[in-house]
A and B are shown apart, each in its own frame.
Chain A
Amino acid sequence: MATKVIHAIYTDDDVLLDAVKKVRAAKYTIKEVFTPFPVHGLDKAVGIEPTRIAIASFLYGLLGLTVAVVMMNYIMIVDWPQDIGGKPSFTFIQNMPAFIPIMFELTVFFAGHLMVITFYLRSKIWPFRKAENPDLRTTDDHFLMEIEVHGEETELLKLLSNTHASEVKVVEPLKILG
């Protein structure tokens, strides 16, 4: 565990992106970057994996479709196969056109909601959750790069001083979050 972290604060997204590239090129590990808005290409520059949330959403959609088909097949065809206005209720396929709207809606419903819930859980955001951005200005117009220090403090500070950082702070974590 690192005992210290360095907070380098930038006032411009392009400068931040350059700085991230420089820090990465010098083989330091960037612990976190806090930005007020999505900076295009930053995730690639920091080197984080692409998100798989779209794949999850697709699977949730398949689940929704299955739920719709199973539900309507059971209710309309298996449990009470009634004649309602001459609609054929002998097999699912025969009356399927009337089921399509709900099959579609439930697919979207499941894909959308379960994906958002997954996003909230994975990113750890929910009501009463405390914000963890170390500087209040990072939701306004400042960009903060957090780098762990493993004893090479001076070299790292020297490197950061050449990246047009507006502030560089060495922060010693006082409390352990938990």
Chain B
Amino acid sequence: MSSHYEAPIREPLIIGEKSYHDISVDVGAPILGRANRSWYIAFSIALVAFLWGIGCIIYTVSTGIGVWGLNKTIGWAWDITNFVWWVGIGHAGTLISAILLLFRQKWRMAINRSAEAMTIFAVIQAGLFPIIHMGRPWLAYWVLPIPNQFGSLWVNFNSPLLWDVFAISTYLSISLVFWYTGLLPDFAMIRDRTTKPFQKKIYSLLSFGWSGRVKDWQRFEEVSLVLAGLATPLVLSVHTIVSFDFATSVVPGWHSTIFPPYFVAGAIFSGFAMVQTLLIIMRKVSNLENYITIQHIELMNKVILLTGGIVTVAYLTEYFIGWYSGQSYENYTYLSFGAATGPYWWAFVMLITCNLIVPLSLWVKKLRRNIMWTFMVALIINIGMWFERFNIIVIDLTKDRLTSSWAMFQPTFVDIGTFIGTIGFFFVLFLLYARTFPVIAQAEVKTILKSSGEMYKKRRAEHPNEPISHVDLDPTAEEPASNIQGSYFTSTDKKEEITTTDTIKDASKDDKINSLLSNVGTFDPKSQEADNLKKINGIGPVMERKLHELGIYTFEQVSKMTNLEYDMLDTITGEFPGRAKRDDWAGQAKVLKKN
């Protein structure tokens, strides 16, 4: 169809011969199936780290902040470093789902769900630090302007730390509803596909009774668009406000007007690095390589390259202004000659290497499309961006205006343990998410299948004038006619078609079919019910129809197939030779039969 036209120069975003149903199957598979061993191993490790972190937090709160490595000069170190790092990571999710939606980027669709999940889980980690770094966290509710018995004692709206409260809570809650609203159709898909009663109940509850009416979709799209329009300035404002924590101070190195855009660019930079890290693993583990393609990875690398470039310009600007201002205090800031030669020279080197030099390798197309290299660079950027925040916070504080208050910072095991705990918590949440949520927005991916699917693009290239649509003219293709309820209607010419096509006339084939059926057993529509054979990996709607034509309707029958039957099947159907054997249909059917 002409409406699906897309310039042939664009690479396909969905690889393989995917139908709408295949997308549902692939996205639903991790939820409807069982977790494997590596998932349990990863989950256990994350859980242990999380519990260790909880221990550290309880120890901090019950004993006092003194258990951290902070001193009188350096009142912020790992706590706020980790806070800014986590908030920054969260930003890529909103960028992918909101900003790329405004720019109508189709490649966002396969990755936005996971990126938003990452946002939410990262902001939860970030949200812990403002609480636990308080001396008296049980009074945290005093930051809210609630009428009270102290003559209504209010908060002070001049403080960026209060702006943080509003920014982070708005950001988390808006991201959450944006994400959840997008999930409704996908939960509905799982609800309607699962056969387990408990799962059905859960997903019915989660899907809020989503039915996919045309009016619902119209509102849904409008809501998504408006939320994207709101979330885009939100994401810019949130990290701007986080940067105000430093930029509005009088500390040399902090007091800088470049911080708001520079922090935002850094947030997107580090956020995309984290998305790469997670998705490179997830596409492998969840068999989503056909949806999260090398093209997606390359495009994300290009965003990393762009934002990394912006961050680099900011570094150079800071370095230049430090010198150009002529202020002697500016010589001890995190990006100054003094910092490069001072006691924290190694942190300076880490920052420049990880954020400035290593990402430059992504200019090379070969490296940009190399998954292993991308993974390495992404990890390095995550480390580098942690050092950026550490340098800004700690180096600038170590040497301030009075030499008598100069100090060094040494983290304790509690500092480190808390950080590891949040990483553990993040992965606990992300791993649980990957098993229970549709990790790809299947409803959205289905909308780009015809324009950006590999099969459709190829077909359009070969037959440019032919309308592309999949029409199944045979209504019995889906299930045995006996299963169809309600009064059933087809036009006369179609009825003829059914009577002529449902049997294969060839006599030699008839013999083969009979011997095949005698081996696997026959299907009696009166007493038996047909199974959904498409659940078997490798059987699509077309293959299922072929099997139905032969008289194979149940998992029971498929499970009895051996090499002999596979060969027979290949000679009868003449399609996808060897496929049944490769996919081990019998083995799959045995498993499905038991469920």
Contacts and interface: CB of A to CB of B under 8 A. Distances in A.
B210 A43 contact: no
B471 A32 contact: no
Given A42-B217, A99-B157, A101-B241, A116 B177 contact: yes
Instruction: Give the most central of B231, B240, B478: most A CB within 10 Å.
Output: B478
A125 to B, nearest CB: 4
Contacts of B241: 101, 105
A11 B209 contact: no
Interface stretch (B218-226, B262-270, B582-590): B218-226
Contact of A35 (B152, B155, B217, B471): B217
Contact of B212 (A15, A72, A113, A138): A138
A102 B230 contact: no
Nearest to B174: A112
Chain A: number of interface residues, binned into ranges:
35 or more
Nearest to B491: A161
A27 interface: no
Contact of B230 (A106, A112, A123): A112
A160 to B, nearest CB: 8
Instruction: Give the most central of B21, B170, B486: most A CB within 10 Å.
Output: B170
A131 B188 contact: yes
Interface in B157-194: 157-158, 160, 162-163, 166-167, 170, 173-174, 177-178, 181, 184-185, 188-189, 191-193
A33 B226 contact: no
A121 B153 CA distance: 37
Nearest to A87: B158
Given A32-B213, A116-B223, A119-B220, 14 more contacts: A33-B213, A34-B212, A36-B443, A38-B443, A40-B3, A48-B215, A116-B181, A123-B215, A133-B192, A157-B489, A164-B471, A167-B475, A167-B488, A169-B489
B227 A139 contact: no
B594 interface: no
Interface stretch (B82-90, B200-208, B386-394, B418-426): B200-208
A44 to B, nearest CB: 9
A95 B158 contact: yes
Interface in B241-261: 241, 244
Interface string A39-80: 111110010101101100100000000000001100110011
B507 interface: no
Interface in B120-159: 145, 152-158
A74 B471 CA distance: 65
13 contacts: A38-B220, A79-B152, A102-B162, A104-B233, A108-B174, A125-B216, A126-B208, A129-B209, A137-B192, A161-B494, A164-B471, A167-B488, A168-B489
Contacts of A76: 154, 156-158
A98 B189 CA distance: 47
A41 B3 contact: yes
A37 B471 contact: no
B219 A53 contact: yes
Contacts of A120: 208
A133 B20 CA distance: 18
Interface string B98-138: 00000000000000000000000000000000000000000
Interface string A10-27: 011111000000000000
Contacts of B467: 14
B360 interface: no
A64 to B, nearest CB: 10
Given A11-B470, A140-B189, A158 B211 contact: no
Contacts of A33: 213-214
B441 to A, nearest CB: 10
Given A35-B214, A141-B21, A132 B220 contact: no
A127 interface: yes
Contacts of B230: 57, 108, 111-112
A141 B219 contact: no
Contact of A79 (B154, B205, B214, B485): B154
